[in-house]
Chain A
Amino acid sequence: MKYVCLGFMDEGKWASMAAAECEAMMKECFAYDEILKRDGHFISDTALQSSGNAVTLRWYQSKVSVTDGPFAETKEQLGGILILEARDLNQAIQLMSNHPGVRLGGPFEIRPMHEEITTRAMEGLDANELLASIK
Chain B
Amino acid sequence: MIPISAEKIHQTVEEIYRTESRRVLATLIRLLHDFELAEEALHDAFIAAVEQWQQKGIPDNPRAWLVSAGRFKAIDKIRRRARFDASLQALAHELDEAVSDEIEGGELEDDRLRLIFTCCHPALASDAQIALTLREVCGLTTEEIGRAFLASPATLAQRIVRAKSKIRDAKIPYQVPEPDELPERLDAVLQVIYLVFNEGYYASSGESLMRPDVSGEAIRLGRLLMELLPEPEVLGLLALMLLAESRRAARATSAGELILLEHQDRSLWSRELIAEGTALVEQALASRQVGMYMAQAAISAVHARAATTDTTDWGQIVALYDLLSRASPSPVIALNRAVAIAMRDGPEAGLALVDQILQHGELLNYQLAHAARADFCRRLGRKEEALAAYRKALALAQQEPERRFLEKRIAELS
Contact = CB atoms under 8 A, between A and B. Distances in A.
Interface of A: 1, 87-91, 93-94, 111-112
B173 interface: yes
Contacts of B169: 112
Contact of B123 (A1, A89, A91, A94): A89
**Interface size range of chain B in the complex:** 10 to 19
Contacts of A111: 170
A135 B121 CA distance: 48
Interface in B164-184: 169-173, 175, 177-178, 181
B263 to A, nearest CB: 48
B181 A88 contact: no
A118 B411 CA distance: 68
A90 B175 CA distance: 9
Contacts of A94: 178, 181
8 contacts: A88-B171, A88-B172, A89-B172, A89-B173, A90-B172, A90-B181, A91-B173, A112-B171
Contacts of B123: 89, 93
A11 B1 CA distance: 77
Contacts of A89: 121, 123, 170-173
A89 B124 CA distance: 12
Nearest to B174: A88
A13 B178 CA distance: 34
A87 B173 CA distance: 9
B33 to A, nearest CB: 11
Nearest to A111: B170
Contacts of A90: 172-173, 175, 177, 181
B100 to A, nearest CB: 25
B177 A112 contact: no
A88 B178 CA distance: 14
A87 B169 CA distance: 13
Given A89-B123, A94-B181, A112 B170 contact: yes
A83 B172 CA distance: 18
